[in-house]
Amino acid sequence: MSKIWSCIILISIVIAFLTGIPEVITSSVISESKTAVENIINLIGMMCFWSGIFKIFENTSLLDKLSKRINKIVLKFFDKKELTQEAQKNMALNITSNILGIGNAATVNGIKAIEAMASVNKSSKPSNNMTKFVLINTASLQLIPTTMIALRSLYGSTNPTNILVPVWIVTIVALTVGLISISILNKVIK
């Protein structure tokens, strides 16, 4: 990230001098910083609101109940012999939190799940279960992309929620491609 960021800025400055508009850099730094502040201010309210709502959710029994159901489906993708009870429980909580969009809970449970998987993994390389689990986490399972919907309506969209179905299609395509790729790569890269 450090290299990419530096490159973008350095290239911009060089281009500005080559095309004889160095003043654009100075004025852009001022105007773009202002844009960043405006954008973040737009984000604050709804970010806090959703964090608040999801905090209530995390503390109810709904999360546990849902994750038990999801567990049955999810386990089909994994090699059950290598999964401890601890790993299974946290995996289900992680995937449920991902589906519901509770990012913080998903991260915590995801870390617990992979630690449990690592503790029974004898190799220094990740097991097939671990690569598959991480891959599922790199897909956006979130059923309702609340942040995007809120941002869309904030910027004046006439129909902020019309992205739902396309988002689901994209998620399914990405997850399918990802799972097929990881199954093949698990055999190729040992």
Q: Give, as ranges, the residues between 115 and 174 that touch another protein (CB under 8 A).
A: 115, 117-118, 121, 124-126, 130-131, 133-135, 137-140, 142, 144-149, 151-152, 155-171, 173-174
Q: How many residues bind another protein (CB under 8 A)?
A: 104
Q: Which of 85, 123 has the CB closer to another protein? A: 123
42 in contact with another protein (CB under 8 A):
yes
| CA distance linking residue 30 with residue 28, whole number of Å | 5
| CA distance linking residue 164 with residue 145, whole number of Å | 8
Query: 53: Cβ–Cβ under 8 A, 6 or more apart, which residues?
Result: none
C-alpha closest to that of 160 among 144, 142, 139: 144
| CA distance linking residue 39 with residue 159, whole number of Å | 21
11 in contact with another protein (CB under 8 A):
yes
| CA distance linking residue 166 with residue 19, whole number of Å | 42
Cβ 130 to another protein shortest distance, Å:
6
- Among 49, 64, 68, 77, which residue interacts with another protein (rule: CB under 8 A)? 49
Contact region for another protein (CB under 8 A) — 39-47, 70-78, 82-90? 39-47
186 in contact with another protein (CB under 8 A):
yes
Contact region for another protein (CB under 8 A) — 54-62, 68-76, 81-89? 54-62
Query: 182: Cβ–Cβ under 8 A, 6 or more apart, which residues?
Result: 131, 132, 135
